[in-house]
C-alpha cells in the first residue's frame, strides 16, 4: 500500500516549443528560433515570463516577425549578438533589458518604433546599427550600456529621448 519515499524521480521538463502571440518558437538546446507572421506576445517583469527561459545563447528571428514583445528577452544574460530582420517594425519596451552579454545589435530597416528601455542594462553592448526608418531614440533606450562605443544612427533620427544614453561611459 505504500511506496518508499524517494523511489521515484520526478523531473519537470521545460517546454521546447510553443506559441508567442501570432508566432511560434522552438528551442534547440540554447538556440531559440522565432518564426511565423505577425507579433510576438508581451511578457512582464515580475509577471508572466517568456516560456523559453533565460538560458538561451542565440535568437534567430525569421523573416515575417513584425513585433518583438515587451520583456521577451529580459535577463537573457548569455545572448551575445542579435540581428533583427527587416520584417520587424516594432521592438517592445524592455525587450532586451538586462542582456548583459549582448555585444552587437543590427536592426533591420523596417523598424520604425523601439520602445523605452529596449536595450537598458546591456552592459557589454559595444556596437549598434540603427535603421534609416527609425526617427526617435526612446527614453532610456541604452541606459547603463557602459561599454557602448559605436552607434550608427540612421538618416531619419530627429529626436533623442530623455536619458537615451544615460550612464554610457565610452
Q: Hey, what's the cell of 73?
A: 528577452
Written as one string, the DSSP assignment of 15-65 is PSEEEETTEEEEEETTEEEEEESEEPPP--TTSSPPTT-S--SEEEE-BTE
∠ Cα 161 145 156 (to 5°): 40
- Rounded Cα distance between 95 and 99, Å, is 9
Using pLDDT thresholds of 50, 70 and 90, give the confidence band for residue 8: very low
Tens digit of each residue's pLDDT (9 = 90 or more) over 147-167: 999 998 888 899 999 999 999
Using pLDDT thresholds of 50, 70 and 90, give the confidence band for residue 14: low
Tens digit of each residue's pLDDT (9 = 90 or more) over 80-90: 999 999 999 99
Q: How many residues in total does the chain contain?
A: 170
Give pTM, 2 decimals.
0.88
- Rounded Cα distance between 146 and 125, Å, is 8
Average pLDDT over residues 86-97: 96
Closest CA to 144 of 111, 126, 119: 119
Q: For the chain, what is the mean pLDDT?
A: 90
**Is residue 64's pLDDT more than 60?**
yes
Using pLDDT thresholds of 50, 70 and 90, give the confidence band for residue 48: confident
What is the predicted pLDDT for the residue at 15? 80
Using pLDDT thresholds of 50, 70 and 90, give the confidence band for residue 10: very low
Amino acid at each position: 500500500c505504500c511506496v518508499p519515499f524517494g523511489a521515484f524521480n520526478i523531473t519537470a521538463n521545460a517546454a521546447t516549443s510553443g506559441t508567442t502571440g501570432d508566432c511560434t518558437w522552438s528551442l534547440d538546446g540554447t538556440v531559440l528560433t522565432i518564426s511565423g507572421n505577425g507579433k510576438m506576445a508581451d511578457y512582464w517583469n515580475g509577471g508572466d515570463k517568456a516560456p523559453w527561459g533565460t538560458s538561451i545563447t542565440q535568437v534567430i528571428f525569421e523573416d515575417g516577425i513584425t513585433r518583438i514583445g515587451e520583456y521577451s528577452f529580459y535577463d537573457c544574460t548569455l545572448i551575445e549578438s542579435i540581428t533583427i530582420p527587416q520584417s520587424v517594425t516594432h521592438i517592445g519596451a524592455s525587450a532586451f533589458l538586462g542582456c548583459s552579454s549582448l555585444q552587437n545589435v543590427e536592426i533591420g530597416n523596417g523598424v520604425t518604433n523601439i520602445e523605452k528601455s529596449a536595450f537598458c542594462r546591456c552592459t557589454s553592448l559595444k556596437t549598434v546599427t540603427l535603421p534609416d526608418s527609425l526617427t526617435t531614440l526612446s527614453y532610456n533606450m541604452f541606459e547603463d550600456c557602459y561599454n557602448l562605443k559605436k552607434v550608427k544612427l540612421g538618416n531619419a533620427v530627429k529626436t533623442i529621448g530623455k536619458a537615451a544614453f544615460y550612464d554610457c561611459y565610452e
